[in-house]
Amino acid sequence: MADGATIPLKGSAANRKPDLVLVPPDVAKSKQLDWRDISIVRVIKAQKSTNTMKQSYTEVAGKTALLLYAQDGRHSAPCLRILGHNIVLTFFDRGGSLSTAPIDIHKYPEEFLRILVGLSRAPPGRIGFDETVFWGKDGRKHLLVAWKGNSEAEVILNQLIFISDALHGRGTTVWAVSMYVPSPESCQPTLPREIVVKDSWINPLRKFTEGGILAKLNEVGVEGVPRLIHEQQVQGPHPSIPNFNVNQSTHIILTLLSQVNTHNYHIRVLSRLLTEPLGQEIMNFSSLAELLVAFIDYVLSEF
């Protein structure tokens, strides 16, 4: 849809107008454009030059940052830069960005069609959406947690407490969550437990993880520290192997592009933490959670 070129999209604090956007069919019918529903952003320039190459990259990077900030269940995004009769596919994730060389639409129409059809028909997981975050039949957003023994449990996302506005880096997202556990009298999950879930893209080469630090603090009984419930690396579909899940990592794309110079691209893995807040009311935990997020991110960046 091209309506976003003249009308600022909803769902963001900034009034930005993307030149062209790709949205799901149900959103296209409603014509209510919102950053939270956008699949892909496209930037259009009249011609390809050194200046428009740089300018289009800056524009698409800024709009992708808004996209990821508005969508708490997304971690990466492919974007299209249309420069005259050339097209550039740019991919942003928490490790950095990668772009193709300009592709002349007139000389290589089949490549152009492959890109358009591939982006338009790709399943959500292939264009950056986290398939462990989804809308349930109850109309509420759910999240899957993988426990030991290959078992999974759903938790209900009640409130988005914090989401990073940085395009690259840890991409931290924090939710207030209801986790249902079996009651003592029945095997049915009836008792809600108010917890906090934090997703972040961490450096796997660091000596300490946040979960490991919290576990040690809990073990020695340090007061004022949230209690660690669970830590895991989030899995998702492999981009080139059907029906095969792997830990979500920026290393996957590095492996697929082994012949490309990616020395500035960072290795990150998606980590998920479940912690129990200290306060009685989960709504009062927002400021403490944001402070804890900022502090631990800072500490880990210094190791």
pLDDT digits (tens, 9 = 90+) for 224-276: 888 999 999 998 887 777 788 888 888 877 776 666 666 677 889 999 999 98
Is the model's pLDDT at 79 over the cut of 90?
Answer: yes
pLDDT of residue 148: 65
Instruction: Quote the pLDDT of residue 285.
Output: 46
Query: Nearest CA to 105 among 27, 150, 147, 44?
Result: 44
Tokens, residue 73: 């269940």
Q: Are 238 and 252 in contact (CB under 8 A)?
A: yes
Residue from 118, 146, 30, 132 nearest 72 by CA: 132
Strands annotated E in 53-120 = 77-83, 86-93, 96-99, 103-104
Q: What is the pLDDT of residue 280?
A: 46
Q: Are 125 and 145 in contact (CB under 8 A)?
A: no
Residue 96 predicted with pLDDT over 80: yes
Name the nearest CA neighbour of 9 among 41, 45, 52, 46. 41
Work out the pLDDT band at 77, boundaries 50, 70, 90. very high
- The residue assigned the tokens 């290393």 is 251
List Cα–Cα distances, 148 to 171, 219, 229, 237, in angstroms: 25, 20, 12, 19
Residue 127 per-residue DSSP state = G
**Neighbouring C-beta atoms of residue 241, cutoff 10 Å:** 9
Render pLDDT for 106-144 as a digit per residue (tens, 0 to 9): 999 999 999 999 998 888 888 999 999 999 998 999 999
pLDDT at 282: 42
pLDDT at 142: 93
Are 101 and 110 spatial neighbours (Cβ–Cβ below 8 Å)?
Answer: no
Structure tokens at 80: 């299209």
Confidence class for position 283, pLDDT limits 50, 70, 90: very low
Neighbours of 107 (CB within 10 A): 10
Query: Which residue in this structure is represented by tokens 């108010």?
Result: 194
pLDDT at 159: 93
Across 88-97, 145-154, 190-199, least confident range? 145-154
- What integer pLDDT is reported at residue 6 of this predicted model? 56
Looking at every residue in the chain, the average pLDDT score rounds to 82
Q: Which long-range contacts (CB under 8 A, 24 or more apart) does 83-86 make?
A: 83/45, 83/47, 83/48, 83/49, 83/52, 83/53, 83/56, 84/45, 84/46, 84/47, 84/48, 85/48, 86/48
Residue-level pLDDT at 181: 61
Average pLDDT over residues 185-200: 76
In percent, the amount of the chain with pLDDT more than 90 equals 39
The whole-number pLDDT of residue 48 equals 93
Closest alpha carbon to 273 in 226, 216, 205, 224: 226
What's the whole-model pTM score?
Answer: 0.81
Q: Are 27 and 71 in contact (CB under 8 A)?
A: no
Give the pLDDT score at 2: 47
In this predicted structure, what is the pLDDT of residue 238?
A: 79
pLDDT band at 51 (very low <50, low <70, confident <90, very high): very high
Residue 186 has pLDDT above 80, yes or no: no
Counting runs of H as helices and runs of E as strands, what totals does the chain give?
6, 15
Q: What is the pLDDT of residue 21?
A: 82
More confident residue, 196 or 146: 196
Backbone angles phi, psi at 174, to 5 degrees: -130, 130
Q: Which amino acid is at 233?
A: Q
What 3-state class would DSSP assign to 105?
Answer: coil
Does the pLDDT value for residue 41 go beyond 80? yes
Position with higher pLDDT, 11 vs 120: 120
